[in-house]
Structure 1
Amino acid sequence: MRLFIAEKPSLGRAIAEGLGNGKKYEGYITCGNDTVTWCFGHLLELANPDHYDPALKKWDAKALPIIPDEWKLLPRKGVAKQLNAIKKLLKKADVVVNAGDPDREGQLLVDEVLKHFNYSGDTQRIWLASLDEKSVATALSSLKNNKDYATLSQAALARSRADWLTGINATRAMTLLGRSKGMQGVLSLGRVQTPTLNLIVTRDRTIASFKPQKYAVVQAALNHEKGSFKAQLQPSEDMTGLDEEGRLIDTAKAEAITKEATNQTGTIVEATSQKKTIHPPLPHCLSSLQKAASAKFGMSAKEVLDIAQRLYEKKLTTYPRSDCRYLPEEQFDDATRILKALSSTPVFKAANPELKSKAWNTKKITAHHGIIPTGQTPANLPAEEAKLFELISTTYALQFHLPRTYEAKKIVSEIAGYLWSTTGQTTLETGWMKFDKQPEEQPLPAVEKDDAVSCVESKVELKQTKPPAKFTEGTLIMAMASIHRFIDDAEAKKTLKENEGIGTEATRAGIIETLKQRGYIKADKKNLVSTELGQNIIALTPEQLKDPITTALWESRLSAIAAGTEQFDTFMSDQVHLLPTLITPITESAGTGLQGHSCPECGKALRRLPSKKDKDKFFWACFEHDKPVFLPDVKRKPGTKQPKQQLPQAPCPEEGCDKMMRRFESKKHKGKFFWVCENKEHPLRSDDGGRPGMDFRR
């Protein structure tokens, strides 16, 4: 029997349809001599620290860093039944086919199940970039040896263990430090989430501290014998009144220039013309799709990923977690079929399947290719799925339209001793841009160098510098993918430009959701902004943990492991050696340790917590006892525990009662008192000069 183990049920069903003659059973489908079963994503997960040592259930700075001697995987909750089904099927299998998703995580999640059951038999690999009938048939006829993909599995395992080491240790250290400073709850840090949070916090701080700067733009209306055109002052480097960006901030100087130039004649010192081409935008990868859908539809990164996954499972589009925007030349012949199947809109009707855009380049294909339609005709799609499908398919159709070509002109004139610059363009071929927003044109007269020109009018337009825009989910995804743009170090910028950034196509949306769920960021209309908690986390985090260079270089090394150019053991050894460097700055930042303010009864760390009854009030607590210790908050420090006030007591006057009565003050009427007997069946009594008085019933 040949056993296919798919990443998820939907993938298993697609394979079973491709094999044919399927009979469904609980947890698997038989197809003649083949059987298809499936996982639910990762069925196994790395064990928690207390599984290695029960003492580690208690969070203690002295136990850090926690580094397992031998890593353990445990079944996730709720998967025992499916794991058992796979175990039984493995015993009958002659050949196993790893049918994980076509990426390193998909490779690992099946490989780790095989290792969990000590399966060492013949194993093959099926690589499915799309689930339509033709793609499945092609993939089934070209199975590979699973060993060829071992480095992918190693890269995913290295990512998983590195995340565990950083996340577990840094989170425990930061949480303990937070408690010492009166912060509550788990304060989570992560290899990717913390640099991502730092991007948002840094942007918010830049916006908050931004001071607008006014500057002047000097414009002129120029006449030439062959026509008039507009020009703008081009400040020279030695001009006074400029800021460090070369903007003219001296408005008096700007007004003086307008007066000097108006009604003056000058000369054209430069006149150039160049034919330029704008090619169609490349097919989408997941990041570009998330950015486009965020801008156009206001979709969150997670929504885009989820919808793209559904389109993939409905066999309408190719694999969504792609980091590549190019297409294999071998698939170019499919264009006629795909364009014909989706020919209901103008962009498809006008497409020419014989045109070959720059997107067709097999040499630039990674593990995946751009996200494109499969040629299956969609029917009755929900609104959000229809929007995303149109975005994906339209970008594909644009590959079969001519590029936009235009003539770009530049004129530089000299008038009154100043240079004035003019640019314009004239469309030669609209091409694919007939289906996009048309650029504004400024036709310019045919002028030549040394021609005479005159200034008939000049004026000053005052403008103001603007702060950088707040992140949206789309722009944050692109920032994570293009992290080199946020790095000042030239060498690091060069290295990171050649690599993936921080996170992967598959994980970036989840990172943003995690930051939201933990209260570190929040959505402000379409924007993402950091919360006070998120800002405090970054303020307490050592530079190396929040620096995107650290994480981006790790991602680069993970890619190298997948490519077989770096060793798994070398990477993991470096992670272990680096860990104390990451954790120590946190554990030492509390000065004398992480205890902060100690409990007067046991010496453990006290926690500063908000009062549920009184807004903006706090108290200190220790929960290391059967009865928690509570202390008042005095100027953000624990005060002295106040002894319980002893209530006045007196013997109960009820006949035959040997209990005591206690004197209480009325909550409704201040200054009035009443007496309560220890025997709750006895009536309340009024206060008579500090002694129990009349029964309230009389």
Structure 2
Amino acid sequence: MSKSLFIAEKPSVAQEFARALKLNSARRDGYLEGENTIVTWCVGHLVTMSYPEAYDPALKRWSLETLPFLPEEFKYEVIPSVKKQFDIVSGLLNRKDVETIYVCTDSGREGEYIYRLVAMMSGVKDKVQKRVWIDSQTEEEIIRGIREAKELSAYDNLSASAYLRAKEDYLMGINFSRLLSLKYGNAVSNYLGSRYQPISVGRVMTCVLGMVVRREREIRDFVKTPFYRVLGKFELQKHFFEGEWRAVEGSRYFQSPLLYKENGFKEKETAREFKELLSQNPPLQAVVEKIERKKENKNPPLLFNLAELQNECSRLFKLSPDETLKIVQELYEKKLVTYPRTDARVLSTAVAKEIQKNIGGLRSYIHAGSYVDEILTAQRYKNLEKTRYVNDKQITDHYAIIPTGQGLSALRSVSQQAEKVYEVIVRRFLSIFYPSAVYQKVSLVSVIEKERLFSSFKVLISEGYLKVTGYSFGKKKEDETSEEETKDGVFLEMLQNVKKGSILPVKEFLIKEGETSPPKRYTSGSMILAMENAGQLIEDEELRAQIKGSGIGTSATRAEILKKLVTIKYLTLNKKTQVITPTLLGEMIFDVVNASIRSLLSPELTASWEKGLTYVAEGSITSEEYMQKLERFIRSWTQGVMGLRNQLMLKQYFDAAAVYYQKSKNSKTGAKTAGKSTKK
């Protein structure tokens, strides 16, 4: 009797497939078997790329003479620690009674790569191979994925992209790490007083290191500039509010060199003289020159992709991206949420048409019941596909992270932190079924002594989706606003009587000192967003949604890259604040790369490589074209670095960085955190 073999990425996922398939059998060594079905699993990667010495034993010794290392054919080997499971899986793949193989590894580039390597090393032939592509691990979704499974060949371009990503990281890592270690390793180790210092570089991680080091140096070089603002304090029916003076056209200081900006002076004395001028004719009164009233709608934010969720959890809970990924992966494996490693922040049309199932399943969730009733009673889920929260064109592999509406009993078995992350996902999801929050905005321009004072107010008059966003753990998401003040409804009512030409009493004029601020250090969350947006830290949520491109790294790899940079002591991560800073060693590696292979530090170039992999996955370019470009890049930079004679020059850069660290340059690791002189 012919059998179907289902191969998952992990034992826990295999169990879910076995349960969905109603497979009743005892667990065997490395697999489950029923009458006509077998379920087995990998344990993550079972196969890896071989080190250079597998090609030639002489390559084990690092030498400039053997670079660049660019094999015509790549070698792979089974990872020794998981050889037993590989042998089990390989045996099952080649069993004569196995006719159809269902590939159930994670639905993404890395999951595809894991299976393809196993199949390649196992020599799978003459089998029907189908790809199961699912967005959650609910029984319904698993059965749908099996029913709609496509021929594995439909994912050949994705597989090609996965192989190329691995080859690219392998070739850049081996060639450039060996090249720079041989060329500059002694300069680094001699400076640190260590015995030997290898230099580790990579396509993505070196770029991220560069972003952190540049930001730290911007902060160091920043010089605070004080400035002095003049404000008028108005009184309106015993309510006080302020108006900010600005040197607009008509002002005696319009375009004056005495200004820092149009709303402040460079010198306090100038501000004091101006304040006295405005105060010279009591009783002080200003005339309303202009008043504008308008309503402003604030839409619910887009849904979470992994980067946005990692940023939010960094902000709310001070979780590292790696910790957030582990939590949301657990929620996924317990069927609570959809696939986490996604870049999309919208839903597909197909999912939108069935979304009431996700909503209805949350009725018994303690933090959602009342909202669910409102949504279902009013049928607010209807026509969701016509909103900005649904866009098939913005989805590559998976749609946004949302609750499945299933598995709520599993919440009892997760950590308190995971419960909170789940609540964050649920509230973001439910908010899209509520109307916009509505604000009343009032802008006021008043004139005194031919000078203009500007006031603005913003009052929430309809909470809309904001009623859903108040977290139970007492840390509500800030409703950020750029307005000078936010007033209550009573004050807003008083403003209704103010018209053009109204007289406003001025109680006094004030001088407020301010100073320019240095750039902010990256947190683990903001770094993930900056990586997603090709090196741009874009604070505005709406603008981020418009940015096109694959960014630096992928949703599946960004957290691991940050973690590695901390592990090898190029960066430090403050666990309490999640702020990222470089180490002395990290700054020295930055200077080495900057003096040799500068393009590795370029976010734009690094993002372009990732975009190229996307083109391969889409079928726009071939693997051969991509490899030719990659090999030219490696040859060119290898030859260029070999011709450099700049090792001694680096000491001046090392010295410049070392003064900011508590540990002396004789430190064996150079990996202490930044000293007091870098703290702003």
Aligned-residue offset at 1:265: 4.4
Q: Distance in 2 between matches of 1:592 and 1:317?
A: 52
- In the aligned structure 2, how far is the partner of 1:351 from the partner of 1:28? 46
Q: 2:314 aligns to what?
A: 294
What is the total number of aligned residue pairs between the two structures? 595
- Provide, for residues 505-564 of structure 1, a one-character-per-residue CA deviation record: whole Å limited to 9, x for no partner: 111110011101111011234222100000000001032111111101111111222222
Asked whether the 8 Å contact 2:255–2:262 carries over to 1, the reply is no
Query: How far is the alpha carbon of 1:494 from its aligned partner?
Result: 12
When residues 337 and 44 of structure 1 are mapped into structure 2, their CA distance, relative to the original with a 3 A threshold, is same
Within 1, Cα distance between the matches of 2:244 and 2:616?
53
- Closer/same/farther in 2, CA of residues 462 and 523 from structure 1, 3 Å limit: same
Call closer, same or farther: CA 1:283–1:513 in 2, change over 3 Å: same
Q: How does 1:465-504 map to 2 (within 5 A)?
A: 465-485=516-536, 497-504=547-554
Q: Is the 8 A contact 1:332 1:360 kept in 2?
A: no
* Corresponding letter in the other structure for 1:512: L
Tell me which of 24, 27, 30 is aligned to 1:22.
Answer: 24
Looking at structure 1, the residues matched to 545 and 634 of structure 2 have their Cα atoms a distance apart, in angstroms, of 23
In the TM superposition, what are the counterparts of 1:234-633 in structure 2 within 5 Å? Answer: 234-236=246-248, 238-243=255-260, 247-262=264-279, 263=282, 264-328=284-348, 329-345=352-368, 348=371, 351-353=374-376, 354-356=379-381, 358=387, 360-363=389-392, 364-375=394-405, 376-377=407-408, 378-434=411-467, 435-436=469-470, 437=476, 439=479, 441-442=486-487, 443-444=491-492, 445-446=495-496, 447-453=498-504, 455-485=506-536, 497-524=547-574, 525-526=576-577, 527-541=579-593, 542-591=597-646
The answer to whether the aligner puts 1:128 opposite 2:140 as a matched pair is no
Secondary structure at the counterpart of residue 243 of structure 1: strand
Aligned equivalents of 2:465, 2:241: Cα separation in 1: 29
Equivalent residues of 1:177, 1:590 under 8 A apart: no
Q: Which residue of 1 aligns with 2:203?
A: 191
2-structure distance, mates of 1:347, 1:155: 46
* Structure (1 or 2) with the greater strand fraction: 1
Question: For residue 6 of structure 2, what is the aligned residue in structure 1?
Answer: 4
CA contact (8 A) 2:245 2:263 kept: no
Q: Which shifted more, 400-409 or 239-248? A: 239-248
Higher Rg of the two aligned structures: 1
Q: Distance in 1 between matches of 2:632 and 2:181?
A: 22
Deviates more, 1:430-439 or 1:53-62: 430-439
**Contact preservation (8 Å) 2:9, 2:43:** yes
Alpha carbons of structure 1 residues 162 and 146: separation in structure 2 relative to 1, 3 Å: same
Q: TM-score, normalised by structure 1?
A: 0.79
Higher relative contact order (CA 8 A, sep 6+): 2
1:347 to partner: Cα distance: 6.4
1:399 aligned partner, one-letter code: I
Q: Which residue number in structure 2 is paired with residue 176 of structure 1?
A: 182
Give the distance between the partners of 1:162 and 1:346, measured in 2 at CA: 49
Q: Residue 101 of structure 1: CA displacement? A: 0.7
- TM-score normalised by the chain length of structure 2: 0.81
Instruction: Please give the alpha-carbon distance, in whole angstroms, between the structure 2 residues aligned to 1:433 and 1:379.
Output: 28
The one-character-per-residue Cα deviations of 1:94-139 (angstroms, maximum 9, x if unpaired) are: 1111112111111121122222233243211111211122222222
Kept in 2, the 8 Å contact 1:311–1:317? The answer is yes
Distance in 2, Cα, partners of 1:310 & 1:31: 27
Q: CA deviation at 1:345?
A: 4.9
Percent of pairs with identical residues: 28
Letter in structure 2 aligned against 1:161 = K
Structure 1 pair 65–486 and aligned structure 2 pair: CA distance change class (3 A): farther
Q: How does 1:47-66 map to 2 (within 5 A)?
A: 47-66=50-69
Say whether the 8 Å CA contact 1:175–1:186 is kept in structure 2.
yes
Q: Any conservation in 1 of the 2:367–2:423 contact (CA below 8 Å)? A: no
Contact kept in structure 2, 1:319 and 1:371, CA below 8 Å? yes
Counterpart secondary structure, 1:522? strand
Gaps of 5+ in 2: 190-195, 249-253, 471-475, 480-484, 652-663, 669-680
Aligned 8 A contact 1:200 1:529 in 2: yes
Unmatched 5+ stretches in structure 1: 488-492, 597-614, 620-698
**Structure with greater proportional helix content:** 2
Q: Do the aligned partners of 2:531 and 2:552 also contact (CA within 8 Å) in 1? A: yes
Give 1:62's aligned amino acid. E
Q: How many angstroms apart in 1 are the aligned matches of 2:666 and 2:463?
A: 66
CA distance in 2 between counterparts of 1:470 and 1:592 reads: 30
CA apart distance, 1:355? 2.2
